[in-house]
Amino acid sequence: MNRTVYSIDGKELRSIELDETVFGLPVNEDVIWYAINNELANKRQGNASTKDRGEVHGSNAKPYKQKGTGRARRGDKKSPLMVGGGTIFGPKPRDYSYSMPKKAKRLAMKVILSLKIQSDTLKIVEDFSIESGKTRDLAGILKNFGGPERTVIVLKDDDPRVKRAAANIPWLSYLSYNRLRAHDLFYGRRVLLLETAAKNLNAFYGPEAARAGASEEAGK
């Protein structure tokens, strides 16, 4: 498929060929949900903790005698049934992370890119860098593509100047073409894909890369 490449001023420059197997897939909501939830689970700290009756500080003595009071039997003051006692089946520190199959993760990224193309929220922009590293210069470029809304820039490499300029824009996030995040891409209302990054995505997620990965797995 052919797509227009825009200048940093928002004007049409030329067209670029995008791989149909990367940018032309049908929407698969299941794999998108799976990828986003995997990322969110892997980010969870999992440090919530409560004390059970063996960990609560207090006496092991019975609060009152067993018989003759007319009240219910009590073991000790740390019982979960008493105020200040332990917690029954409360959360403990745990690891929420889990691994997702590589093929499924790659498919999710391609489906999200295809979805952004279909919804016309992805624009391919000529390569640029912010030599000054100032937020003002980057904000001037973004202004040519619309107002302040949740935006994602997909870079061709780890450009420290662009990252520095983007740090002070709360609604802007940046990704490298080979380290995409499903959550950021999916929820970005506008995706600006640099021209070289688009070419790299053709190769990185294209059929040749898939065949190379399959051959590598078979050789193990």
CB 200 within 8 A of CB 156: yes
Calpha distance 171→79 (Å, rounded): 49
Range of weakest confidence among 43-57, 157-171, 174-188, 200-214: 200-214
Q: Is residue 55 part of a domain?
A: no
Q: Is residue 85 part of a domain?
A: no
Give the model confidence (pLDDT) of 122-140 as tens digits: 999 999 989 888 999 999 9
Q: Is residue 44 part of a domain?
A: no
Q: Is residue 70 part of a domain?
A: no
Domain of residue 24 covers 2-34+101-218
58: left (phi over 0), alpha (psi -120 to 50) or beta: left
Q: Is residue 151 part of a domain?
A: yes
Residue 197, amino acid: A
Q: Is residue 176 part of a domain?
A: yes
Q: Domain containing 116 — which CATH number?
A: 3.40.1370.10
Q: Is residue 53 part of a domain?
A: no
pTM: 0.82
Report how many domains make up the chain.
1
Q: Is residue 66 part of a domain?
A: no
CB 157 within 8 A of CB 176: yes
